[in-house]
Structure 1
């Protein structure tokens, strides 16, 4: 056998690294073709090498370096390709519109490949869209809040991108979820924890120099770390520390609310400073009369006076509705305690005045006929004997609180004057009962038949209006 000579060739990069590629070539006197057939290379396996960061100067390299020629994956798939429903809802922390798409999904040893179309003949079509979801440092979990679909799990990468993956088949969904989770756990463990990436970059941030396979950090590396510290801290505070800070944030909000409630000024103080003004609409009748020092609210008096002056002969008075916007404007002025002149031209439509008056009665917290008297008035209206019915109604009216009694007396006296002009305004006792029945009384809990209650309400107002002279002793004045 011819003498052979062994030469050792070491790459320039391996001279400065702890590990390198060693090639052993056997040279003999045979032809070049024979020598090439006998050439052997001894190369360390990738599993024996520590993971290396992507070179910073290789700008033209594919971002993830995951596809080989023709668009085929360079790693052996852990799960064969399968059509899954995928929606990308966030990229780099920025939310995106959720659009579900059927994608040909392939799981490799370090990423999830999403193809728009299934490869034909084992090769991806030229120009086919492919998205690679890096699984190193990612988080996976089932979710029911991000989608109404069933069997949905979410993958969140270490760069802040979020993907929703779904399958109608539960067995398929659980198979992919478990396989992806095992891949994530394996990658995170083999890389010594959670690797961070720079914003808008595919480069891993350098790890601590004490980890095996990584040399001491250079000054340039430290300087770059300082430059990107702000973006890293922002990401870590919003993502890595999210779970631990949730409880603190909630407790902080609760404590601030407690302090605000304790230190907030009382309503009386705000009223004294003029920050809160007492309302007229929606105020309890007795409270309003006590505040104004009268037994009939001033707003009711000025409205009735205005109708007496220019509304008794108007067709459909109290039955016709006024302009709602103007009614609300009138209400606002009253609530602000501003001077109100109903003779002004902006209130020339008398139906606006009557509409505001009816609105005042409807918005009382307790109606003009108090809740506790509702059943008693209903029982009184059922009495067949007219004389006994009048006496029962008269007794109930006298038992009412003073503000309710005086307001009711003033209102029904006014409605009697409206009936005096019934030939011109075309309003009858029955018409007034229909308008004012539900406006002046209603049950506290409408547990009965609403239609039956409305009939009683109308009849009670009609009867009191017809017998006002006796019930309120109007003939004595």
Structure 2
């Protein structure tokens, strides 16, 4: 009896210890014999290989509560934190709607899927404890990151644009830290895009394979049917699909013949059916077409800005209305008579935006590609006099259209900088705006962010030493 009592006691202890794990205990009432009671005590001892299952509710409403797996209950999927730290953040667009720029210091956490924004470094830990708390975040899938100099007068600013139309600016004065952030975010975006595209291709392949299997199974089922009407229906569908494929092939062959016989762009231009456009055309061709070393559109914009824009705050830094700029571009490309004093071009920021767009869309920038490395090497010279002389010798070697256009543009920007007291545009500010637009490498390289600093410095130096650089021996 003592052994039986001790067996019952142990069984009850085991019952208590496994009760928290959700194991279901069964106990037989009114044991008829000691042997039955003894067997009952031994049956309650668990083996090492026993799998513990959650209690199954008999109520129909609660069935959905037990469909979760153990992984979903115990350890939810956690994302890998790649980088975190303090940066200046400004949200400038929400769903495509422009917002007022407001810089705030944020604790930013970069994971392999998204970018999260917190008020301080302690908030992520608090957020994990609060159920339902969702911080502001950016989905990296399909996002785009790029350096920008037009959205802010601050240095080291880059912009993140999401597929939903949200735009964020991130900034920090420390060069190597902000460069590291830019590279980490760019790599994360590329990685998540590759993973998403791979998953979609796998899903598409599975859908195709399943649909093919269903078609084969249906064909097999129909072939077994003995009814004549079903066999006729199957033959009709097969004939219809064959005729459909034949028709598609005929359309493809006709399109190929049409494309191969169409006249070339050059022949259409020679016949005068297609005219060269101003935006996106080579600088040399534009000058030859107009019989001048400087495109007339550049002269018109410079004249308009000097007439009514030298005292405007943030001239060339503030962006004009993009729709109006595109309208101005269309008018210029159609070779219509352009009058920038017209009321529709009243906003001077539209004129400056169109001028920047003209230089940005040149097939080869104002500083030709073959001169890029030479100018970057020249700006690194320690002695200022040698630096200016080297840059002057490079400018003198430029093609004539590039030299003349550059001389007029930089002379105009020098006048803008002379009115810094009114427009708050110093040579440094103009260098930030025009550096990446006028000077860039032919192919993107790893040190592109570092080169951006040199691009700005080159434009700034040429503005400060304009007289020395653009002076000729005849002068």
TM-score range, shorter chain: 0.5 to 0.7
Q: Which residue of 1 aligns with 2:242?
A: 243
Q: Which residue of 2 aligns with 1:196?
A: 232
Q: Which residue of 1 aligns with 2:294?
A: 296
Cα 1:354–1:181 shift into 2, 3 Å: closer
Are the aligned partners of 2:222 and 2:231 in contact in 1 as well (CA < 8 Å)? Answer: no
Are the aligned partners of 1:367 and 1:440 in contact in 2 as well (CA < 8 Å)? Answer: yes
- Per-residue CA deviations over 1:169-216 (Å, capped at 9, x if unaligned) read xxxxxxxx87x76543333xx56797335xxxxxxxxxxxxxxxxxxx
In the TM superposition, what is the alpha-carbon distance from 1:359 to its structure 2 partner? 0.8
Are the aligned partners of 2:223 and 2:231 in contact in 1 as well (CA < 8 Å)? Answer: no
Residues 59-458 of structure 1 aligned to structure 2 (within 5 Å): 148=207, 183-187=221-225, 195-196=231-232, 236=236, 239-243=238-242, 246=245, 248-249=246-247, 251-271=249-269, 275-458=273-456
In the TM superposition, what is the alpha-carbon distance from 1:150 to its structure 2 partner? 7.6
The reply on whether 1:467 has 2:462 as its aligned counterpart is no
Are the aligned partners of 1:469 and 1:475 in contact in 2 as well (CA < 8 Å)? Answer: no
- Partner SS state of residue 195, structure 1: helix
Q: Which residue of 2 aligns with 1:83?
A: none
Are the aligned partners of 2:222 and 2:230 in contact in 1 as well (CA < 8 Å)? Answer: no
Cα 1:394–1:240 shift into 2, 3 Å: same
Cα 1:428–1:155 shift into 2, 3 Å: closer
Larger gyration radius, structure 1 or structure 2 = 1
Query: TM-score, normalized by length of structure 2?
Result: 0.52
In the TM superposition, what is the alpha-carbon distance from 1:444 to its structure 2 partner? 1.2
The ranges of structure 1 where at least 4 consecutive aligned residues each deviate by more than 4 angstroms after the TM superposition are 144-147, 149-156, 180-183, 190-194, 272-275, 474-477
In the TM superposition, what is the alpha-carbon distance from 1:254 to its structure 2 partner? 4.0
CA distance in 2, matches of 1:310, 1:453: 34
State the aligned residue count.
Answer: 274
Cα 1:428–1:154 shift into 2, 3 Å: same
CA distance in 2, matches of 1:148, 1:195: 27
CA distance in 1, matches of 2:211, 2:344: 62
Query: TM-score, normalized by length of structure 1?
Result: 0.52
- Per-residue CA deviations over 1:354-374 (Å, capped at 9, x if unaligned) read 111011111111111111111
CA distance in 2, matches of 1:303, 1:453: 29
In the TM superposition, what is the alpha-carbon distance from 1:269 to its structure 2 partner? 4.5
Are the aligned partners of 1:438 and 1:457 in contact in 2 as well (CA < 8 Å)? Answer: yes
User: For the aligned residues, what is the CA RMSD?
Assistant: 3.0
CA distance in 1, matches of 2:473, 2:412: 14
In the TM superposition, what is the alpha-carbon distance from 1:446 to its structure 2 partner? 1.4
Cα 1:151–1:341 shift into 2, 3 Å: closer
- Per-residue CA deviations over 1:249-278 (Å, capped at 9, x if unaligned) read 454234323321332123244346654232
In the TM superposition, what is the alpha-carbon distance from 1:148 to its structure 2 partner? 3.6
